[in-house]
Amino acid sequence: MKTVVSLLVLLLPLLSGCGFVYERHLVGNYYLIAVDTWEDMDVCYHRQGNEDAPYTGITGAGVYEVGYDDDFILVKAYRALRDTTGIPLPRYDRNITEYYIIPVNNAQEAWEAQENKFGAFGKEDFDAMRKELGVPDDIVFWRP
């Protein structure tokens, strides 16, 4: 009997499914989520009040800093490395930062949220688009 109980204790984490390594609500229907590892960090859209709705990734993984207010989410992410066919790998070039601007829109569908972003930009293009969109200068980046 002790063997069975010991076996169940060891297997329980595997049977209970995996949760998020990190989850933080940002604003409205937007969350910062890391599924399996911290490198999986992504800004996701999830309609509040609908627990069956999926978390839909917006920027792709590799996010390491974000900043936001009620109108915009700013993202810094490492560039994903790609295989020979162009498919992103689960590894990142930590020497290259990509920037995103996400206008907050809580009334959209998940597929619309994936398209509702500006970027990936280099720093100069990010700064120009930030100015063009009227994104406030007081939004500061922070690390989760």
27 falls within a domain: yes
Global pTM? Answer: 0.81
pLDDT in tens, 44-57: 999 877 777 788 99
Domain that holds residue 52: 22-133
143 falls within a domain: no
Please tell me the total count of domains within the chain: 1
Main-chain phi, psi angles of 46, to 5 degrees: -145, 115
Contact indicator for 136, 92 with CB cutoff of 8 Å: no
3-state secondary structure the chain: CHHHHHHHHHHHHHHCCCCCCEEEEEECCEEEEECCCHHHCEEEECCCCCCCCCCEECCCCCEEEEEECCCEEEEEEEEEEECCCCCEEEEEEEEEEEEEEEECCCCCCHHHHHHCCEEEECHHHHHHHHHHHCCCCCCCCECC
62 falls within a domain: yes
| Residue reference for tokens 């295989």 | 83
Average pLDDT, the chain: 84
**Identity of the residue numbered 50:** N
3 falls within a domain: no
Q: pLDDT-derived band of residue 36, with 50, 70 and 90 as boundaries? A: confident
1 falls within a domain: no
pLDDT in tens, 78-107: 988 888 887 777 788 889 999 999 999 988
For residues 4 and 69, give the distance between their C-alpha atoms in angstroms, rounded to a whole number. 52
